[in-house]
Amino acid sequence: MEKFLVSSAEREAKENLIALIAKGVDRICFQRDSTDSIIFAMNVAKEAKAITILSNNYDERCEVSVKRGDSNVMKLRERVFSLGKTSFSSILPITESNTPTILLGITSSVIEEKRVPTAWEESVMSSVAGNGINYEKSPPLISYRTMNIETSLKLSSYLFKDANKVKNRLIEENVNLKQKYTELTDELTIRIDEILREEITMYVPEKSAYYFDVDIREVFFAIRNKFNALLEFCWNPQYMYKVIADYRRDIHLV
């Protein structure tokens, strides 16, 4: 298993958060324009049965507050933790039911901020791997595990300035678009990766999380800017299957 050098701030924040959740939380403050912040707040509310949730607010009345910035700040009653770029969702205590939401919280933070995962986030992702969950190096092809390259490319078209150009370049390399990426030779996948990285215009991390066969990147693109859907997902993670189905229908994939 990989070893990651993590700071004590994240570990201490998590220990304090677990203790606070056990006691109960009355007020939570978070930023509504951040997928990660919403996921964090909803999970704390769900576990601690919070009475009141205040969005876009950061004041002394809130027992739990999170605020994004050059260094993300988490306030837990009297304690304040500076987390650097580490996502708030990665500080949540992990349970079997909330794992998909934590994966999405970390993924959303990394994509929205166009950055690599922090050592703490890498350690969290690696710690939940297994039993149907994978965290691995992946091509910028959304849901490539379950779809052929042509369909996956359609689903990933917004990642590229000209998806048709990408398609034509793959054809020139004698790529069978009806095959899955996972069915190709290592030599061909390396060439495909080179082409995709040359043509991509939107940032996606080199490593991605998969919840069974669900590409968490697809969940992010399907649910971002949909506040009510995100709330439903936090309370019922299985809702992601409906979100994905609706998303594919909206972009005329099915």
For residue 3, tell me if it sits in a domain.
no
Angle at 94 (CA atoms; ends 22, 106), nearest 5 degrees? 120
Average pLDDT over the chain, rounded to an integer: 91
Angle at 153 (CA atoms; ends 175, 172), nearest 5 degrees? 30
The position carrying tokens 């049965």 is: 49
Distance CA 154, CA 125 (A): 27
Query: Residue 63 belongs to what domain range?
Result: 8-136+208-250
- Helices 216-223 and 227-235: crossing angle, nearest 10°? 140
Instruction: Looking at the structure, tell me whether residues 118 and 68 fall in a common domain.
Output: yes
Instruction: Looking at the structure, tell me whether residues 75 and 193 fall in a common domain.
Output: no
Percent of residues, the chain, with pLDDT higher than 90: 80
Distance CA 125, CA 2 (A): 11
Instruction: Looking at the structure, tell me whether residues 130 and 149 fall in a common domain.
Output: no
Distance CA 192, CA 152 (A): 13
For residue 143, tell me if it sits in a domain.
yes
* Average pLDDT for 65-87: 94
CA 142 to chain centre: 13
Instruction: Looking at the structure, tell me whether residues 216 and 128 fall in a common domain.
Output: yes
For residue 2, tell me if it sits in a domain.
no
Distance CA 73, CA 57 (A): 13
pTM equals 0.92
Instruction: Looking at the structure, tell me whether residues 12 and 80 fall in a common domain.
Output: yes
For residue 1, tell me if it sits in a domain.
no
For residue 88, tell me if it sits in a domain.
yes
What the block records as the tokens of 84 is 């650097």
For residue 123, tell me if it sits in a domain.
yes
Edge-first strand listing for the sheet containing 27-30: 52-55, 27-30, 64-67, 73-76, 79-82
Whole-number pLDDT of residue 140: 94
Distance CA 62, CA 29 (A): 6
Instruction: Looking at the structure, tell me whether residues 53 and 156 fall in a common domain.
Output: no
Residue 20 clears pLDDT 70, i.e. is over it: yes
Instruction: Looking at the structure, tell me whether residues 146 and 44 fall in a common domain.
Output: no
For residue 235, tell me if it sits in a domain.
yes
Tens digits of residue pLDDT in 164-209 = 999 999 999 999 999 999 999 999 999 999 999 999 999 999 999 9
What are the CA-CA distances from residue 235 to residues 113, 126, 134, 164 (Å)?
25, 24, 23, 39
Cβ(86)–Cβ(119) below 8 Å: no
Whole-number pLDDT of residue 50: 66
- Print burial letters for 10-31: b (CB count within 10 Å at least 16), e (below 16): beebbebbeebbeeebebbbbb
Instruction: Looking at the structure, tell me whether residues 119 and 243 fall in a common domain.
Output: yes
Instruction: Looking at the structure, tell me whether residues 131 and 143 fall in a common domain.
Output: no
Instruction: Looking at the structure, tell me whether residues 73 and 196 fall in a common domain.
Output: no
Instruction: Looking at the structure, tell me whether residues 149 and 115 fall in a common domain.
Output: no
Instruction: Looking at the structure, tell me whether residues 52 and 78 fall in a common domain.
Output: yes
For residue 194, tell me if it sits in a domain.
yes
Residue 3 clears pLDDT 80, i.e. is over it: no
Number of separate domains in the chain: 2
Whole-number pLDDT of residue 61: 79
* Average pLDDT for 211-230: 94
